[in-house]
Amino acid sequence: MNKKGFALIAAVMLLIFSPFIFSLFYLNLVTEILILAIFALSLNILVGYTGLVSLGHAAFFGVGAYMSAILAREISPNFFLTLFASLAAAIIASAIIGIFCVKVSGFYFLMLTLAFSQMIYSFVHQSTTITGGSNGLSGIPSPLIGSLDFSNPVYFYYLILLLFILIYGGLSLIVHSPFGQVLIGIRENETRLKSMGYHTTLYKLAAFVIAGGLGGVAGSLYTSFNSFISPSDVYWTMSGSVLIMVLIGGSGTMIGPVLGAAFIVILETIVSSYTTMWMMIIGIIFILFVVFFPKGIVGLGKLLLQSFSKSNKLSAISGKKSNALYNNDVKN
């Protein structure tokens, strides 16, 4: 077993035993981190692997969240119903929006995703009868599977953990599969991929729909977690903060967005208990990362590991050199 596998197992064990280690407050914090990590992981498929920077990912989060909220209130809080309906709604929404967005790239892609997400925001904001308008929807019943009620935070935590592991595992398979390699190829050089015979537009759309669908799943879970949803979770600042999670964590890596989500949620919780200007502090940290560690927490970690092993190697080399010198001296 390699070091990476060991670290992975240790992390999973820690997550499994969290309810026994942490108080309820911190368990809820971990739950929130896992849900937002799913959201960041979904965006990372688009931003980190396909190279399409979206500033409208909250749209699909919102579609999933409101779908879930409305169904749970009006029809049934059955977990599978709300989850799969949210997934389906987000897939449909992202397919429609994606068809337009993947036709453009770079700056225009960013602006177009932003415009579409703001359209969804204003729909949510205006349709008071369906979405509760600016008041949002509250009192959303907690999810049920059969007679099992997930209002218990420990049960709910395990439900989220299971989904998180499934999604993380599934996505890491996808990004290493031949399909995922095509996405990486598009990020690196779309022109070349076309001349290799790839219908790149279709692949970009697929990435957009995967990202959107899982974004919807995250939204659905978020609604169940908070039993409340408001238009601010569909606003473009939400798209911005998930993008920050991906970038601070390390885009184009699997673990990066998870670390980014954890970092931002923890920071937000700690800093906001001291000052109301926490947004400014996150902004400053983001700027520092972009300027000094553009590869995020993952890049920073690698850098530290490298310099550590390098200094070890260097001392080994200098040791050899002094030996060689010594040998020369003897020969002379």
Q: How far is the CB of 173 from other proteins (least distance, A)?
A: 5
SS3 251: coil
- Residue of 16, 100, 128, 170 that binds other proteins (CB under 8 A): 170
Rounded CA separation 311/208 (Å): 43
User: Is 176 among the residues that bind other proteins (CB under 8 A)?
Assistant: yes
Count residues binding other proteins (CB under 8 A). Answer: 24
Task: Report 77-136 residues binding other proteins (CB under 8 A).
Answer: none
User: Is 8 among the residues that bind other proteins (CB under 8 A)?
Assistant: no
Instruction: For residue 262, give Cα distances in angstroms to 112, 213, 229, 243.
Output: 29, 22, 21, 13
Nearer to other proteins, 175 or 234 (CB): 175
Nearer to other proteins, 174 or 267 (CB): 174
Task: Report 290-309 residues binding other proteins (CB under 8 A).
Answer: none
User: Is 195 among the residues that bind other proteins (CB under 8 A)?
Assistant: yes
Stretch that binds other proteins, among 73-81, 105-113, 169-177, 274-282 (CB under 8 A): 169-177
Stretch that binds other proteins, among 108-116, 124-132, 175-183, 287-295 (CB under 8 A): 175-183
Rounded CA separation 105/207 (Å): 14
Instruction: For residue 298, give Cα distances in angstroms to 103, 188, 201, 240, 248.
Output: 31, 20, 30, 20, 9
Task: Find where tokens 């396909």 sit.
Answer: 50
Task: Tell me which residues touch other proteins (CB under 8 A).
Answer: 170, 173-174, 176-182, 184-185, 188-189, 191-200
